Structure 1
Amino acid sequence: MNQTDIEDILNVHLLAFGDEEGPEIAALARALLALPDTISISAQREGTIAGNVLFTPFVFRDHPGTTCYLLAPCAVLPKHQGSGVGKELMERSIDHLRSIGVDAVFVLGVPDFYPRYGYVPTDKQTPYPELLTIPESWMALELTPGAVAPLSGKPTAVEAFMHPELWDTSAYG
């Protein structure tokens, strides 16, 4: 990925999340893109990046052999929202993650978007379970049958996600 692609991806996150959250999400995306294990999937329209989703390792301490990723952030440029870009991102990313042997994907997200793609609420812990006030927003997508049920113990995300405020759902919904 070249510097122009990175800047385009950051711009998608900045614009999609707006003036209030955009700068923080773009900074998070920049930090995640600098990590070697981050998976970045983009969708293009009119020759430019119209949407992007990032995936980073998510490890359950008691099950280090199960390959899990955390989906975040996911963004679509405002002018392309509602036009199928988000659907393309989800379908392409699921196909890619399955093809590389990922067992499960977790997301703290919008409860009426991700279930369209197979994500279901999960009782598996977040890094800060006491901050999960909207349980249906914590979801998992099982890519390997039977991979999620045995997961237990406290999970760990990449350092950029190990901040309590990123897991606090009390301000939403």
Structure 2
Amino acid sequence: MKKTDINAILDIHRRAFGKADGEAMGEAIAQLAKDFLDHPGTISISVEREGKLAGNVLFTPFVFADHRDTKCYLLAPCGVSPHHQGTGVGKELMETSIEHLKSIGTDAVFVLGVPTFYPRFGFVPTGKHTPYPDLLTAPEAWMSLELTEGTVGKLSGKTHAIPQFMDAHWWDTSQHG
């Protein structure tokens, strides 16, 4: 991936999360996205409008200790530029991503996100553990999308995200209102 592409992706996340949550959060999410893009297992999907990046979503490997051969990903972050929010970019990101993940044999996708957005694309609340289950104060925000039938029900055990996502503060839902 070219440096200009990476910078455009980081800018999308900086602006998407900075607008709603303040400049500091936008910078933190952009840094997290940069860290994720440095990981070889990360999948990046973008949507353009008028030849410019309008949205981006990243998927990183997510491992269940008791089921290491099951191919799971975490969805985060998913950002749409403020100018394009509410215009279908988020929907296109999700639909394109789900099709891509199916095409590469992904079994399930997990997200700690907005419980009013992700169910539109088939995500449902899940009782599977996050890496920090004691910090999950908003269980409706922890969702899964099963891409291989019967996968999620079989998953158990501790979970691990890539190192950059194993910081406990990313999993603490008490800080989000």
TM-score band (shorter)? Answer: over 0.9
Is residue 164 from structure 1 mapped to residue 161 from structure 2 by the alignment? no
* Count of matched residue pairs: 173
Q: Describe how 1:120-135 pairs up with structure 2 within 5 A.
A: 120-135=124-139
Partner AA of 1:157 in structure 2: A
1:138 and 1:44 mapped to 2: Cα distance? Answer: 28
1:59 and 1:26 mapped to 2: Cα distance? Answer: 24
Is residue 99 from structure 1 mapped to residue 116 from structure 2 by the alignment? no
1:83 corresponds in structure 2 to: 87
Task: Summarize deviations over 1:4-38 as a string: whole Å, max 9, x none.
Answer: 11000000000001113100000000010011110
Deviation, structure 1 residue 67: 0.3
Off by >6 Å, runs of 4+ in structure 1: none
The percent of aligned pairs where both chains have the same amino acid is: 65
Q: Which runs of 5+ in 2 are unaligned?
A: none
1:13 corresponds in structure 2 to: 13
Three-state SS of the structure 1 residue aligned to 2:153 is: coil
Three-state SS of the structure 2 residue aligned to 1:148 is: helix
Three-state SS of the structure 2 residue aligned to 1:51 is: strand
- TM-score after normalising by structure 1: 0.99
Q: Describe how 1:139-158 pairs up with structure 2 within 5 A.
A: 139-158=143-162
2:133 and 2:170 mapped to 1: Cα distance? Answer: 12
1:86 and 1:16 mapped to 2: Cα distance? Answer: 11
Is residue 112 from structure 1 mapped to residue 113 from structure 2 by the alignment? no
1:84 and 1:66 mapped to 2: Cα distance? Answer: 31
Three-state SS of the structure 1 residue aligned to 2:152 is: coil
More helix by share: 2
- What is the CA RMSD across the aligned residues, in angstroms? 0.5
Partner AA of 2:59 in structure 1: F
Q: Which runs of 5+ in 1 are unaligned?
A: none
1:136 aligned residue (137, 140, 144):
140
